Amino acid sequence: MDMNEIKEIFFQECEEQLAELESGLLKLNDGDRDPETVNAVFRAVHSIKGGAGAFGLDDLVSFAHVFETTLDCVRSNKLEPNQDVLKVMLKSADVLADLTNAARDGASVDESRTRGLVKELEALARGEMPSASGAPEVAPAKPAAAAPAPVAVAAKPAPTDESGFQPIPFTFDDFGDEPAAPAADPVFEVTFKPRSDLYAKGNEAALLLRDLARLGEMTVNCNMDALPPLEALNPEEAYFHWVATVRTSKGEEGIRSVFEFAEWDCDIDVRGLEENEEAELPMIPVPFDLAILDGDGAMTAEEHDHDHDQMGDHHEAAPADAPVAAAAAEAVSAAQTAAAVSQTARAAAAAPAAAAAAAAAQANNAANQAGQTIRVDLDRVDRLINLVGELVINQAMLSQSVVENDSNGTSSINMGLEELQQLTREIQDSVMAIRAQPVKPVFQRMSRIVREVADMTGKSIRLITEGENTEVDKTVIDKLAEPLTHMIRNAVDHGIETPEKREAKGKNPEGTVRLSAKHRSGRIIIELADDGAGINRERVRQKAIDNDLITADANLSDEEIDNLIFAPGFSTADKISDISGRGVGMDVVKRSIQALGGRISIQSRPGQGSTFVMSLPLTLAVLDGMVVTVAGQTLVVPLTAIVETLQPEASSIHSFGASQRLISIRNSFCPLVDVGRILDFRATQANPVEGVALLVESEGGGQRALMVDAIQGQRQVVIKSLEANYTHVPGIAAATILGDGRVALILDVDAVVAASRGQSLKPEIALAG
């Protein structure tokens, strides 16, 4: 594994830590005061700092350090995490994410914003509450009732703990090392007795002592009484134990946290010493500068050989590597922390660099602890998925040729094939499950968007997310972020009213945006609801008339008017803002969703808000479809779109206008759409009585009966992109390869339904796919 790969793993790990950080801060924002939540937040920042140090990412380290220090104040109950404090913290999390991205891609960061936040964080650490002057970025029109009045923590003297300790202002001039503890810090006596398990599990007493030494000023006494004669000695046993005195501001909690991950394998006793109380034992002072030991990861048998292999490389270069190694140790403890948090071996595997050393040790521990995970290159998974896709096609071809040669269908080959089909299906499902990921990361990104746009527009908005653990194919997740961002911005910028307007209408001045995900009949449904003003239908209608999207006398239902906002170039914003884009509008969103094989619709209630509903396939690789014949062509209709199939009778077909036909189904009429005609497969309309009608439900367009000539069967097909292999075809979503080796087109039901609605919405068909 080369350095770049290790670095890449570090950045992946950072993403997870940032997600952890954000979700923890949001929980705190919701009033969660569980110390474990605070700890998780702290650990996330600490892990990033540690890893960043290993790679010499100084900007990231500096900022993370300041952030971590402030979080430490929260952790030690010196700072009340009220909403004002959390606002600064959430913004800091955003900056931390920016700095991480900058380190990864070399992108630039807003330095003044970073500097501003460093000042705010430092002020918080000193016990000063954020104020308008101290927080230049706070929204100008902050609604009075948006947040509870700041708790008067700042006005009070900082709380003291039992030992009379008062927090003192920190200086951040030197981010490199922990500042030497001032003389006023309390002194603790720590007795540390490792058990042999400690070493067997890859932990190392020297590293724990090193971390202890980093808390402040330390002296140590090693008790060697238990050491047996050489011949009786078991080299893997723990014989030494230590008594150390540590002068530190971190308190007993800080000391115990050093041993947090080894507590089962050692005995720890911590007691406070009186100011003039001297340790009774002869103590050896521990040097302050232990940077040289930082390459000294927790070592295990597994990495032993590996290390020896590499020895030749860094032996000579050791002094030069020292600074890098310094931070590496942090990475080690970061890895330990992360592993403990996530309880998976993943954290260990992801531990950066230096961390190679600690990683193996942690892998051991973490692997023993809980469900195991591995990181796999996405390309490998995709290759597997492609191969399984080919397997499905091949199996279908094989089945078909067996059926053709074995008309009675009783041969053992035929029965074996059915089992093979079952097996193939299971393999496919399992492979697909590998790619399934929770939508959580995307949802978490949205909370940042809401925060930023709300700040820019002076609105107060609460984002509520639901069902964030709903899983969907990774490709879908990756491509979901952009349209969702656009929609969230729209919702905050245009949907939610200003606090004043909301109050005037008797609403809560704080607007709510609700983002939810759930599974429904083999698809994922993502809903984005706001409690804003809703769609102004009069304005939308007028705009559509002005833009020649509809005729002035067009008779459209409310639902159809609402859906006009998805028409290309449609924008009702009176002024173009930086936030929702330059009027590119919802057509782009719709196109992105359609490109994912999804559908989007809107429901709006004036004065009460709008809800966008997106229905997306769980995977872009396979589809359950009904194979049909239309004008001699074989098409596949996605099964999820079909409500029912029926054989029309002459008596149920009614003409309407010049060319429209309706079919009466259980006392209601439904427009009949000749798929062959819409797709220009034939010049004239087919006789409905000779075909089959597929009753389909389209997003926002109600039900339609699609006329096809015949149904061939129902089967799972492997989706092949038409755009990637050929070019976009209106009305067609994708293609597939059938059992006989022929290519069949997969129908884009929504596009066909939209096209059937008539001339006015015809351009929509060009958007499909």
Partner 1 sequence: MAAKKNATTMKLAAVLDLNEATVLHRAFLDARGKNITLDASGVERAGVPCIQVLVAAARAWEADTRTFTITAISEAFQKTLSLVGVNIDHLLAKESH
Length of the chain: 769
Examine residue 145 and tell whether it contacts partner 1 (CB under 8 A). no
Out of 61, 97, 190, 299, the only residue in the binding site for partner 1 (CB under 8 A) is 299
Give the Cα separation of 290 and 176 in Å (integer).
12
Give the Cα separation of 622 and 637 in Å (integer).
13
Identify which of residues 102 and 286 has a Cβ nearer to partner 1 in the complex: 286
Burial class (CB in 10 A: 0-12, 13-18, 19+), 546: exposed
Identify which of residues 311 and 683 has a Cβ nearer to partner 1 in the complex: 311
Contact in structure between 128 and 70 (CB atoms under 8 Å) = no
DSSP character string of 52-71: HHHTT-HHHHHHHHHHHHHH
Examine residue 292 and tell whether it contacts partner 1 (CB under 8 A). yes
Out of 141, 145, 168, 233, the only residue in the binding site for partner 1 (CB under 8 A) is 233
Examine residue 239 and tell whether it contacts partner 1 (CB under 8 A). yes
Joined tokens for residue 395 = 């199996």
Joined tokens for residue 559 = 């639902």
Q: Which of 746, 664, 760, 670 is nearest to 706 (CA)?
A: 670
Examine residue 297 and tell whether it contacts partner 1 (CB under 8 A). yes
Identify which of residues 112 and 196 has a Cβ nearer to partner 1 in the complex: 196
Give the Cα separation of 493 and 419 in Å (integer).
55
Identify which of residues 194 and 352 has a Cβ nearer to partner 1 in the complex: 194
Q: Which of 2, 47, 58 is nearest to 21 (CA)?
A: 47
Identify which of residues 197 and 558 has a Cβ nearer to partner 1 in the complex: 197
The stretch near partner 1 (CB under 8 A) out of 277-285, 376-384, 462-470, 574-582 is 277-285
Identify which of residues 357 and 616 has a Cβ nearer to partner 1 in the complex: 357
Examine residue 221 and tell whether it contacts partner 1 (CB under 8 A). yes
How near is the Cβ of 622 to partner 1 at its closest, in Å? 49
Examine residue 287 and tell whether it contacts partner 1 (CB under 8 A). yes
Out of 149, 206, 423, 743, the only residue in the binding site for partner 1 (CB under 8 A) is 206
DSSP state of 627: E
How near is the Cβ of 191 to partner 1 at its closest, in Å? 13
Identify which of residues 16 and 296 has a Cβ nearer to partner 1 in the complex: 296
Per-residue b or e along 209-237, where b marks 16 or more CB atoms closer than 10 Å to that residue's CB: bbbbbbbbbbbbbeeeeeeeeeeeeeeee
Examine residue 315 and tell whether it contacts partner 1 (CB under 8 A). yes
Identify which of residues 290 and 734 has a Cβ nearer to partner 1 in the complex: 290
How near is the Cβ of 316 to partner 1 at its closest, in Å? 11
How near is the Cβ of 361 to partner 1 at its closest, in Å? 10
Residue with tokens 């932990």: 203
How near is the Cβ of 491 to partner 1 at its closest, in Å? 55
Joined tokens for residue 655 = 């003409």
Out of 296, 455, 510, 764, the only residue in the binding site for partner 1 (CB under 8 A) is 296
Examine residue 199 and tell whether it contacts partner 1 (CB under 8 A). yes
Q: Which residues are bridge partners to 512 per DSSP?
A: 462
Examine residue 308 and tell whether it contacts partner 1 (CB under 8 A). yes
Examine residue 240 and tell whether it contacts partner 1 (CB under 8 A). yes
Examine residue 376 and tell whether it contacts partner 1 (CB under 8 A). no
The stretch near partner 1 (CB under 8 A) out of 37-45, 78-86, 237-245, 572-580 is 237-245
Give the Cα separation of 604 and 390 in Å (integer).
44
Out of 23, 37, 245, 300, the only residue in the binding site for partner 1 (CB under 8 A) is 300
The stretch near partner 1 (CB under 8 A) out of 263-271, 283-291, 370-378, 612-620 is 283-291
Please give the size of the binding site for partner 1, defined by CB under 8 A.
49
Neighbours of 285 (CB within 10 A): 11
DSSP character string of 32-59: ---HHHHHHHHHHHHHHHHHHHHTT-HH
Identify which of residues 209 and 533 has a Cβ nearer to partner 1 in the complex: 209
Examine residue 224 and tell whether it contacts partner 1 (CB under 8 A). yes
Residue with tokens 């530190």: 248
Examine residue 666 and tell whether it contacts partner 1 (CB under 8 A). no
Give the Cα separation of 530 and 291 in Å (integer).
53
End-to-end CA distance of the chain: 41
Examine residue 565 and tell whether it contacts partner 1 (CB under 8 A). no
Contact in structure between 188 and 215 (CB atoms under 8 Å) = no
Out of 5, 236, 377, 574, the only residue in the binding site for partner 1 (CB under 8 A) is 236
Identify which of residues 295 and 638 has a Cβ nearer to partner 1 in the complex: 295
User: Which residues, numbered 155-194, are part of the site for partner 1 (CB under 8 A)?
Assistant: 194
At 587 the three-state DSSP class reads helix
Residues 6+ apart with CB under 8 A from 332: 50, 207, 297, 298, 351, 354, 355, 357, 358
How near is the Cβ of 236 to partner 1 at its closest, in Å? 6
Contact in structure between 99 and 63 (CB atoms under 8 Å) = yes
The stretch near partner 1 (CB under 8 A) out of 32-40, 258-266, 285-293, 708-716 is 285-293
How near is the Cβ of 216 to partner 1 at its closest, in Å? 14
Examine residue 280 and tell whether it contacts partner 1 (CB under 8 A). no
Examine residue 370 and tell whether it contacts partner 1 (CB under 8 A). no
Radius of gyration for the alpha carbons in the chain, expressed in angstroms and rounded: 32
The stretch near partner 1 (CB under 8 A) out of 307-315, 472-480, 492-500, 526-534 is 307-315
Joined tokens for residue 640 = 């999820």
Out of 151, 222, 279, 642, the only residue in the binding site for partner 1 (CB under 8 A) is 222
Contact in structure between 736 and 719 (CB atoms under 8 Å) = yes
Examine residue 42 and tell whether it contacts partner 1 (CB under 8 A). no
DSSP character string of 509-577: SSEEEEEEEEEETTEEEEEEEE-S----HHHHHHHHHHTTSS-TT----HHHHHHGGGSTT----SS--
How near is the Cβ of 13 to partner 1 at its closest, in Å? 24
Q: Which of 712, 487, 462 is nearest to 584 (CA)?
A: 487
Out of 10, 55, 67, 242, the only residue in the binding site for partner 1 (CB under 8 A) is 242
The stretch near partner 1 (CB under 8 A) out of 118-126, 297-305, 426-434, 688-696 is 297-305
Examine residue 197 and tell whether it contacts partner 1 (CB under 8 A). no
Examine residue 216 and tell whether it contacts partner 1 (CB under 8 A). no
Examine residue 363 and tell whether it contacts partner 1 (CB under 8 A). no
User: Which residues, numbered 708-737, are part of the site for partner 1 (CB under 8 A)?
Assistant: none
Examine residue 530 and tell whether it contacts partner 1 (CB under 8 A). no
Examine residue 229 and tell whether it contacts partner 1 (CB under 8 A). yes
Examine residue 284 and tell whether it contacts partner 1 (CB under 8 A). yes
- HSE-up of 400 (CA within 13 Å, CB side)? 15
Examine residue 230 and tell whether it contacts partner 1 (CB under 8 A). yes
Identify which of residues 6 and 299 has a Cβ nearer to partner 1 in the complex: 299
Out of 144, 149, 168, 318, the only residue in the binding site for partner 1 (CB under 8 A) is 318
Q: Which of 26, 14, 29 is nearest to 64 (CA)?
A: 14
Q: Which of 333, 247, 326 is nearest to 286 (CA)?
A: 247
Q: How far is CA 364 from the centre of its chain?
A: 27
Examine residue 317 and tell whether it contacts partner 1 (CB under 8 A). no
Examine residue 456 and tell whether it contacts partner 1 (CB under 8 A). no
Q: What is the dihedral of CA 174, 175, 180, 183, to 10 degrees?
A: 80
Under the rule (CB under 8 A), what is the footprint of partner 1? 194, 199-200, 202, 204-206, 209-210, 213, 220-222, 224, 227-231, 233, 235-240, 242, 244, 283-287, 290, 292-293, 295-297, 299-301, 304, 307-308, 311, 314-315, 318
